[in-house]
Amino acid sequence: MGCARPSAANWTGMFRAEPGNFTNQRRAALVTGAGGALGGSTAVRLAADGHDVAVLDRDTASLEGTA
C-alpha cells in the first residue's frame, strides 16, 4: 500500500492572493543556503522587491558575501 501523491489540483487555491489580502502587511522571507549562487541571488531579489529578508547558510564565510 502506498501513499497518495498530492496533485496540483489540491494546491492551486491554497496560495491564491485575493485583492486586498496583502495591504499594509510587511512581507518577510527566510532564505536558506543564501551563501550560494541561487540562494544569494534569491535573497538579493527579495530584498530589492521590498521584503524583509533573513539569510542562513552553514558556511558563514560565503554568507558574508550575500549579507
* Each residue's pLDDT tens digit, 11-56: 555 556 666 665 556 789 999 999 999 999 999 999 999 999 999 9
Q: Which residue bears the cell 502587511? A: 25
Question: Hey, is 18 helix, strand or coil?
Answer: coil
pLDDT of residue 9 exceeding 90: no
- DSSP run (H or E) holding 3: none
- 64 versus 7: the higher-pLDDT residue is 64
